[in-house]
Chains A and B, each alone.
Chain A
Amino acid sequence: MTQINKQWESMKKDYINKVEKALSSVKHPRSEEILEDVRAHLDRRYSELDSEHQTQENLQTIITEMGPASDYAELLEPNEKHLKSGPLPKYLLAVLAVILIVIGLSFMLRLPRHPKYGPYLRAIFKCNFTANPFFSVDNFNKIQVGMTTEEVLDMIGYPQMRNQLVPPKDATQEKLDQYNDEVYWDYTRPAFDGAKYYNDYSVITSLSTGTVLRTRKLTGYSDLKPRAEDTLFPKKVGNLEVQGFDGQKHILKESDDKISIILVNRQHSTDDTWINRRKYQKEQAEKLLAESEMNDVDIFFLDWNDRERILGRIAMDSDILIYKKGILYSTPVIFGSLVEKIEQSYHNDRIWLIKRLTEND
């Protein structure tokens, strides 16, 4: 290949590239065909030059006579479709707007429930946690050291769980006493399954004095398992089929304003052990009614299987539920070593709840 030939190939390639780029703006199905035609045309023009006319100047004339690359798109699609920088057609803008709205809505609806990122987004709106229906961050911030547990209940309702921390092995007696006295009232849990990050609000109370020692606000990852399903309460269940002490089925109606206490049988009521449990539960319920000074309240049973069927997987030991107007309420669980120490606290939660529901009438 001669030098001039190489030069021509280079000029031809350069021109065809420019045409190709110009045609890419219209994406016409015959773009490739045009490039082939132009290539053949250029080859033909070049072949007609005898060797003495194969000069740089003549080669450039061939290219110039082909016209500017931008003409190709304009002539192929005269309706301005080739103008990349031109204004977009209205229908295209509308389609784009719809797509953006759909994407935006997807983000808005899905992102808040994303296990990893959702809680951070929700944190902005202080809703990356669940709590009892009477809890509010504003009221939590008003909790003062020295307040009584009754005052705390009045302000922010009952906690999700009460805990005591395990003291270190080498703790001094003084430390042990401190650990044994402090009870953490944990008010919040992650807002949904899979989310570990949440705004954690706790009130630390003293068992011995029944007053607030301090409050605690944590944000960040927690090893606590999410218990979103535990915090289904209050849950709307509508009419509810329960069992009375007479062994007959009863239907609690949504339209009825009356408060009912539902004792949950944790196994079949024919089991001797759980008959005793049922007896104990009934005593608890009667105590509850006496202390809350409520007379016009009925007590019913709900079998464990029914409870799971109706309520799903919920807190493992919420064995006393309160029903009113088609809604089931439950105060938190009692378990572990704290049962004996702070059962009265849970009892107080229930009394408080019954009174609060009565007040709402």
Chain B
Amino acid sequence: MDLNNWQTQLRKGLLDIFILNLLRNGQCHGYEMVQKLKKDNGMIIREGNIYPILARLQTDGLVTSYSQASKDGPPRKYFELTDSGRKALSEMNNHWDKINESIQNIRKGAGE
């Protein structure tokens, strides 16, 4: 089994839920999200990956964006959850909890 490939695919698959959770507590700009994912969560992320996902989430109506002036450079683009986004995130988190629980149960059952 190609573990690297598995990790890459898992990471890509989880990026949506990571990003939505980052936005749960309020607005955030892309660069900031990347830094949080890299530092706070130890998530190995390719920095550019965040932008196509944000674009897709916007198209799906889960996230919205707006520009805001910045003190130290050009205006920054901020993202925040929409109501649909919050609802979807709630369902995604529930689902993720179930998956995580299942994995934990299996691991316990195996005497780990």
- A residues adjacent to B (C-beta < 8 A): 19, 23, 28-31, 33-34, 37-38, 40-41, 43-45, 47, 65-68, 71-77
In whole angstroms, what is the CA distance A89 to B42 when docked?
39
- B52's partner among A29, A44, A45, A73 (CB-CB below 8 A) is A73
- Determine the chain B residues whose CB is within 8 A of the CB of A74 once the complex forms: 12
Tell me whether B48 and A29 are in contact (CB under 8 A).
Answer: no
Tell me whether B56 and A66 are in contact (CB under 8 A).
Answer: no
Name the residue of chain B whose CB is nearest to the CB of A33.
B55
B31 within 8 A of A: yes
In whole angstroms, what is the CA distance A70 to B73 when docked?
29
- A47's partner among B34, B48, B73 (CB-CB below 8 A) is B73
A29 and B59 contact, Cβ closer than 8 Å, known pairs A38-B51, A41-B30: yes
Tell me whether A30 and B58 are in contact (CB under 8 A).
Answer: yes
A76 and B56 contact, Cβ closer than 8 Å, known pairs A37-B51, A38-B51: yes
Name the residue of chain A whose CB is nearest to the CB of B13.
A78
What distance in Å separates the Cβ of A58 from its nearest Cβ neighbour in chain B? 14
Tell me whether A28 and B77 are in contact (CB under 8 A).
Answer: no
- SS class of chain B's interface: helix, strand, loop or mixed? helix
Tell me whether B73 and A66 are in contact (CB under 8 A).
Answer: no
In whole angstroms, what is the CA distance A47 to B73 when docked?
9
Name the residue of chain B whose CB is nearest to the CB of A69.
B48
Tell me whether B58 and A67 are in contact (CB under 8 A).
Answer: no
By size class, the interface of chain B is 20 to 34
- Determine the chain B residues whose CB is within 8 A of the CB of A66 once the complex forms: 46-48
Q: How many A-B residue pairs have CB under 8 A?
A: 71
- SS class of chain A's interface: helix, strand, loop or mixed? helix
Name the residue of chain A whose CB is nearest to the CB of B34.
A41
- Determine the chain B residues whose CB is within 8 A of the CB of A45 once the complex forms: 47
Tell me whether B12 and A75 are in contact (CB under 8 A).
Answer: yes
Name the residue of chain B whose CB is nearest to the CB of A28.
B55
Interface residues of B in 1-57 (CB under 8 A from A): 12, 15, 30-31, 34, 46-49, 51-56
- A71's partner among B31, B46, B76 (CB-CB below 8 A) is B46
What distance in Å separates the Cβ of A207 from its nearest Cβ neighbour in chain B? 87
B74 within 8 A of A: yes
A76 and B48 contact, Cβ closer than 8 Å, known pairs A40-B77, A44-B31, A44-B73: no
